[in-house]
């Protein structure tokens, strides 16, 4: 198992466009397990960067809707668009009929079908409006929190009992590697969510409870979504994990604004 700092380093090199040197080590399941455990840390870093960008842009004359667009675009660029691509492929796969082999064929086709286009468009519109609204209210912590929270779904998707859809590829490297980390990150998320209720005037109990409910919804939805994908596809792959992240972020943004 990699040391925590090393795991975060490898996760950043895998999950973002940050130009860090690629680590020289065999990429086996022990490395994959460590990287997936560290994925929420990458979410925290991305969330902080996105909140900082939104805060900086809010000091300009740009409308908040435009700021929301720029934040979504920046996140897509920072992650190489991998999660959006995974969302499109997963939506197309789930939208077709047939056995896991047929689903895999659709997902590997390389083109986005109607379900994929609809899923990506819907997620991006919701996130644009959501990030814009959080910016308008100067809720920087919650903007960052939503982005970080979505990454927990990827950890949940790599829990034990969910096999890899294929014997090779990213899924084979990380599927079934997470156990304790699912519990640890959920507990940490609940603690971080409670902070959403702190204001200069004291604790806003309603805001804290809302954040905790959002976390529960994201975790339960992520658990169900990855289990459903595993049933339809015969297991988990990288596209499903990317789709789960986008689903988690979208649900978190909506929940925090309710």
Q: Across the 258 residues of the chain, what is the mean pLDDT of every consecutive 10-residue run? A: 88 92 82 96 98 98 97 97 95 88 83 91 98 96 97 97 92 95 97 85 84 97 97 94 98 96
In tens, the pLDDT along 35-73 reads 999 999 999 999 999 999 999 999 999 999 999 999 999
Task: Determine the structural domain holding residue 51 and report its residue range.
Answer: 4-257
- pLDDT (0 to 100) of residue 197: 80
Taking the C-alpha atoms of residue 188 and residue 198, their distance in angstroms, rounded to an integer, is 17
- pLDDT (0 to 100) of residue 83: 96
Taking the C-alpha atoms of residue 32 and residue 102, their distance in angstroms, rounded to an integer, is 27
- pLDDT (0 to 100) of residue 104: 84
Question: Could you give the number of structural domains in the chain?
Answer: 1
Taking the C-alpha atoms of residue 19 and residue 233, their distance in angstroms, rounded to an integer, is 33
- pLDDT (0 to 100) of residue 97: 81
- pLDDT (0 to 100) of residue 33: 95
């Amino acid at each position: 198992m990699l040391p925590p700092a090393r795991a975060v380093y490898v996760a950043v090199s895998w999950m973002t466009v940050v130009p860090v040197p690629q680590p020289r080590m065999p990429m086996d399941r022990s490395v994959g397990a460590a990287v997936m455990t560290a994925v929420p840390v990458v979410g925290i870093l991305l969330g902080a960067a996105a909140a900082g960008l939104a805060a900086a842009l809010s000091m300009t004359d740009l409308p908040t809707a435009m700021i929301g667009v720029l934040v979504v675009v920046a996140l897509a660029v920072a992650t190489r668009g991998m999660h959006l691509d995974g969302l499109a492929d997963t939506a197309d796969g789930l939208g077709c009929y047939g056995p896991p082999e047929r689903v895999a064929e659709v997902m590997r086709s390389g083109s986005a079908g109607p379900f994929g286009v609809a899923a990506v468009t819907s997620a991006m519109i919701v996130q644009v409006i959501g990030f814009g609204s959080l910016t308008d209210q100067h809720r920087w912590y919650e903007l960052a929190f939503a982005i970080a929270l979505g990454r927990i779904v990827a950890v949940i998707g790599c829990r034990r009992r969910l096999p890899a859809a294929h014997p090779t590829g990213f899924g084979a490297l990380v599927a079934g590697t997470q156990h304790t980390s699912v519990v640890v990150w959920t507990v940490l998320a609940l603690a971080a969510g409670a902070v959403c209720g702190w204001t200069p005037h004291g604790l806003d109990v309603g805001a804290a409870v809302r954040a905790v409910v959002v976390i529960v919804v994201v975790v339960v939805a992520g658990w169900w979504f990855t289990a459903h994908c595993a049933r339809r596809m015969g297991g988990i792959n990288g596209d499903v994990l990317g789709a789960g992240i986008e689903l988690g972020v979208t649900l978190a943004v909506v929940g925090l604004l309710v």
